[in-house]
Amino acid sequence: MTTHRTMEHAKMPLVMRRKTKVMFARGQGMMTLALVFSVVLACVCATIITTNLRSYDPNADHSLASALGATPKGNLSPSVSRGMPRSLPKSRCAIVHAQSGKKIIISGAPASGKGTQCQLIVEKFGVKHISTGDALRSHVRGGTDLGKQAKAFMDAGDLVPDELIMKIMEQEATGGSSGWLLDGVPRTAAQVTALNEVGLMPEKVILLEVPDDVLIERCVGRLFDPETGNTYHRKYFPPPADIASRCVQRSDDNEETMKNRIEQFKKNRQSLVDGYKGQIVAIDGNREKEAIFKDICQALA
């Protein structure tokens, strides 16, 4: 059979033999190009898939409706939805769901050491420290819409309503994944409910416990640096010599006022305990700050 084909090939005209060789060469070239193209395409696809897998967020809404810009339905993971009240507005659920860092509340009577522990918590866990007073003053100074509303109450000598305070807390906690640390709120049962309604629900509530006489001693000797906002103590933590002259004592840092503030805290303490059952971690705050912080880290582990 092979001999017969060879003879036929030899009988073919020279022009046809040359055309056959050219066509065969072109066919080989096309096959080579197709193979190269397939390899390149496979590499590109592999790169795209790898990149998407690295940036894939399993908690994000990947539905077609989301891609078209529709409002998400607030699908939350079971661990989040189980701890969420049924009445929580869906638009607010995004705050809880978006935060991947720790969510902490720290509470304690005045001079219980919250400020010191807040600094240590922020340094270790990278959470955003949200102090009620600082946030309120910041919005007022910045002239935000919420700040203007709050200023109207303050100028009139009225307390800023819980609803407005919670909106400020919500805005401060939104737009990040580092987590948050609330300081100075909640203080009442109404504030616990309000925080839940805006989606600010903690994983742990740190409660610093310090005897009354120690709190009074800390308060009476407390000094405040108006330029940096740092707090010092005449006996336990005196300010550096170069700034000591500018440090002042707040007008309400006296024994009589302090006793009233402690009693007010005790009245509201039970509201905090009842509102966060299973999340409260009581810590002895009458020790060295390092020992206190060690217990806090164990509680947040």
Contact 210, 236 (CB under 8 A): no
DSSP 114-166: HHHHHHHHHHHH-PEEEEHHHHHHHHHHHT-HHHHHHHHHHHTTPPPPHHHHH
d(CA 265, CA 34): 78
Say which amino acid occupies 11. Answer: K
Contact 70, 53 (CB under 8 A): no
Among 262, 180, 253, 264, which Cα is nearest to 221's? 253
Contact 280, 202 (CB under 8 A): no
DSSP 194-221: HHHHTT---SEEEEEE--HHHHHHHHHT
Residues that are catalytic: 114, 187, 222, 250, 261
> How many other C-beta atoms can be found within 10 angstroms of the C-beta atom of residue 187?
18
Among 22, 23, 26, 20, which Cα is nearest to 8's? 20
At residue 111, φ and ψ (nearest 5 deg) are 70, 20
3-class state of residue 237 by DSSP: strand
Question: Please, what is the end-to-end C-alpha distance for the chain in angstroms?
Answer: 82
- List the beta strands (DSSP E) in the chain: 102-108, 128-131, 179-183, 204-209, 222-224, 231-233, 280-284
Say which amino acid occupies 63. Answer: S
